[in-house]
């Protein structure tokens, strides 16, 4: 059953997304097939859904990570990162695997290109999802990655078909793998989501047609964002021009800040404006989990 759009008093963010280790390489250009380039900097950190979760938690919203973890150094890194941000862990542990890795190549204009090797984070069970106690005051985050991974897509499909949200508001980010998601599952998301938030490429795949009962937010980088309701443009919100260092996770930060702002009582329009600003701040810093805290967001000027 779709969420009641008149009420956005979220008390927490429950993230269904998967976190993994980001290995970022800052390169002068992408290598040609069979070639090589020398990176001038690198960064190793937890990424994936953690980018959304940390952005939300830094703005004061109680945040829960329900994605799977594993056993090994990558999983240990996730545990430390969650503890540092005050994010609760309520996921499953896969004993036979560690978390996967995403290699990210960042070009001088801040554009990022990914190669992902999924592992423990992509293994989900119906028992684990059914153990989640959701309700109308919860915001729930789901990413296209978890609908594309062979190990988790059918589990999420059956969970959604069972109306397991229990009145919670579903925020869906298609992610770059959206074209790999079963069209039937995407249609289910269109009918179910409180909001779909997508970049321009992902929006082309998802469409902004009238079969959305909820909101569709099209993120356009420095050009800002557009808000659609049932395929009708309802508003445009200006972006912020900044010196771009790294666009990795900018959409994730936007989503986390959007949800946290709604929870704080901002209107949908005000929340999108704050999310635009949070994303702009994030791309001036290296790494995907680069969302600002409340003080930094409120005091920032561009």
Domain annotation covers residue 286: yes
- Calpha distance 238→182 (Å, rounded): 33
- Calpha distance 266→275 (Å, rounded): 11
Domain annotation covers residue 215: yes
- Calpha distance 90→40 (Å, rounded): 38
Task: Count CB-CB contacts under 10 A for residue 73.
Answer: 9
- Calpha distance 48→175 (Å, rounded): 10
Domain annotation covers residue 106: no
The pLDDT of residue 302 = 52
Residue of 155, 158, 230, 145 lying closest to 188 (CA atoms): 158
Residue of 191, 188, 153, 193 lying closest to 173 (CA atoms): 193
Name the pTM for this structure: 0.95
Residue 214: CATH number of its domain: 3.40.1190.20
Task: Count CB-CB contacts under 10 A for residue 137.
Answer: 15
The pLDDT of residue 300 = 66
In the chain, % of residues over pLDDT 90:
91
Instruction: For 109-120, write each residue's pLDDT tens digit.
Output: 999 999 999 999
Measured between its terminal Cα atoms, the distance across the chain in Å is: 41
Pairing between β-strand 41-48 and β-strand 19-26 as defined by DSSP bridges: antiparallel
Contact 302, 283 (CB under 8 A): no
Contact 107, 55 (CB under 8 A): no
Instruction: For 203-245, write each residue's pLDDT tens digit.
Output: 999 998 787 899 999 999 999 999 999 889 999 999 988 999 9
Whether 4 shows a pLDDT value over 60: the answer reads no
Residue of 287, 295, 205 lying closest to 252 (CA atoms): 287
- Calpha distance 87→142 (Å, rounded): 17
- Calpha distance 278→282 (Å, rounded): 6
Pairing between β-strand 12-15 and β-strand 62-65 as defined by DSSP bridges: parallel
Beta bridge partners of 171: 141, 195
> Would you mind telling me the total number of residues written for the chain in this entry?
302
21: Cβ–Cβ under 8 A, 6 or more apart, which residues? 44, 45, 46, 47, 74, 77, 78, 99, 100, 101, 102
Instruction: For 15-51, write each residue's pLDDT tens digit.
Output: 999 999 999 999 999 999 999 999 999 999 999 999 9
Task: Domain count for the chain, please give it.
Answer: 1
- Calpha distance 257→262 (Å, rounded): 9
Instruction: For 243-301, write each residue's pLDDT tens digit.
Output: 999 999 999 999 999 999 999 999 999 999 999 999 999 999 999 999 999 998 987 65
Residue found under tokens 């793998």: 177
Helix (H, G, I), strand (E, B) or coil at 285: coil
What is the domain extent for residue 237?
12-20+47-99+119-299
Domain annotation covers residue 28: no
Domain annotation covers residue 175: yes
Domain annotation covers residue 2: no
Beta bridge partners of 225: 219, 237
Domain annotation covers residue 107: no
Domain annotation covers residue 105: no
- Calpha distance 133→142 (Å, rounded): 16
1-5, 102-106, 279-283: least confidently modelled range = 1-5
Give the helix/strand (H/E) hosting 15: strand 12-15
The pLDDT of residue 285 = 96
């Amino acid at each position: 059953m779709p969420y009641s759009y008149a009420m956005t008093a979220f008390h927490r963010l429950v993230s269904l997304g998967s976190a993994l280790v980001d290995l970022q390489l800052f390169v002068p250009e992408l290598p040609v097939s069979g070639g090589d380039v020398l990176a001038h900097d690198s960064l190793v950190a937890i990424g994936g859904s953690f980018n959304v979760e940390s952005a939300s938690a830094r703005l004061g919203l109680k945040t829960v990570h329900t994605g799977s973890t594993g056993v090994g150094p990558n999983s240990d890194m996730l545990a430390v990162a969650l503890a540092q941000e005050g994010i609760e862990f309520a996921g499953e542990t896969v004993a036979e695997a560690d978390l996967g890795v995403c290699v990210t190549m960042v070009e001088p204009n801040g554009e990022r290109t990914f190669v992902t090797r999924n592992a423990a984070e992509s293994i989900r069970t119906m028992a684990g999802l059914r153990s989640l106690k959701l309700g109308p005051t919860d915001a729930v985050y789901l990413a296209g990655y978890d609908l594309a991974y062979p190990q988790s897509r059918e589990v999420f499909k059956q969970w959604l078909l069972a109306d397991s949200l229990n009145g919670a508001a579903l925020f869906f980010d298609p992610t770059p793998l959206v074209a790999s998601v079963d069209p039937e599952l995407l249609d289910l998301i269109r009918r179910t989501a409180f909001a779909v938030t997508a970049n321009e490429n992902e929006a082309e795949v998802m469409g902004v047609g009238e079969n959305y009962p909820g909101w569709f937010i099209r993120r356009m980088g420095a050009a800002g964002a557009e808000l659609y309701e049932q395929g009708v443009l309802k508003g445009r919100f200006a972006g912020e021009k900044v010196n771009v260092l790294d666009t990795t996770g900018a959409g994730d930060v936007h989503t986390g800040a959007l949800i946290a702002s709604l929870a704080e009582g901002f209107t949908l329009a005000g929340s999108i404006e704050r999310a635009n600003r949070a994303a702009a701040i994030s791309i001036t810093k290296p790494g995907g989990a680069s969302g600002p805290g409340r003080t930094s967001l409120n005091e920032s000027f561009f």
